[in-house]
Amino acid sequence: MTSERSNREPVGPAGGYAEINGLRLYYEVQGSGRPLVLMHGGVGASEMFAPLIQPLAARRQLIAVHLQAHGRTADVDRPLRFETMADDMAALVSDLGYSSADFMGYSLGGGVALQTAIRHPQVVRKLVLISTPFRRDGFYPEVLAGMAQMGPEAARYMPQSQLAQLYTDTDWGALFTKLGELLTRDYDWSDGVAGIRAPVMLAYADADAVSTAHIAEFYRLLGGGLRDAGLDGGGRPIHRLAVLPGATHYDVLTHPALPSAVISFLEARATAPVAS
């Protein structure tokens, strides 16, 4: 089976729902071509990718997912875990009639995308991780301290926010409680990262919440940054690293150079086998 769509009816621009692992998982589809699954950061949902939709949809069929308890995907009686949300993503790809897809995740969604590549390597053709660590202590200490403050009290102002107007059914107290529990759990996915065979693009702001030391460690763990590529570029790894100047973790998705960097990576011919 290839990554072309099956004979299912296409989903309209308003999006659709899939019954996945006990979730009624919401997703939105735009564009045409090879599928690219988009996974948003914490608290918000697909609106985070608004600056990227137009340029990416011109080249790819975008599947913007609302993760468990976020946006239009209602919560269920299970904790938030990167691993279970990754299982949701693999199941969604299959449900939509694909054998594989490209994946792009930002922050929380980057962790989900990374776990999808680790747990379901056959599903991931190429992987774009934006502002994503592979180990919890890749975040700066002050960022980890902020994560420790997430909980019902932190959600008290959300009903007055623009997000609350957009997603009227979200239980903000429950979401912040589950996010707080998730984000204070320690993790180290070094072994899984070292086993990834799909091409990976790492993208960060130059003033990111992820430390520069961790960014370099991540790239080296993938096999990048270990040698000079040579005059002809023959020593270039299949993976890429982009550091976007003048940006932070909180506005990196608006950086004007990000869409072209992502498109260039996705359309580049891989120098190692990837899932078809």
36, 124 Cβ separation under 8 angstroms:
no
Structure tokens at 275: 């899932």
Contact call for residues 201 and 129 (beta carbons, < 8 A)? yes
Contact assessment for residue 161 and residue 167, using Cβ atoms and an 8 Å cutoff: no
Alpha helices of the chain — where are they, by DSSP H?
50-57, 82-95, 108-119, 141-147, 162-166, 172-183, 190-194, 212-222, 258-267
Alpha-carbon span 245 to 175, nearest angstrom: 32
Domains located in the chain, CATH noted:
16-139+190-267 (3.40.50.1820)
**Residue ranges of the chain with pLDDT lower than 70?**
1-14, 270-276
Q: Position 201: which residue type?
A: M
| Contact predicate 23/70, CB 8 Å | no
Cβ distance 60 to 34 under 8 Å?
yes
Please choose, from the candidates 140, 141, 259, 106, the residue with its C-alpha nearest in 3D space to the C-alpha of residue 209. 140
Separation between Cα atoms, residue 139 and residue 117, nearest integer Å:
21
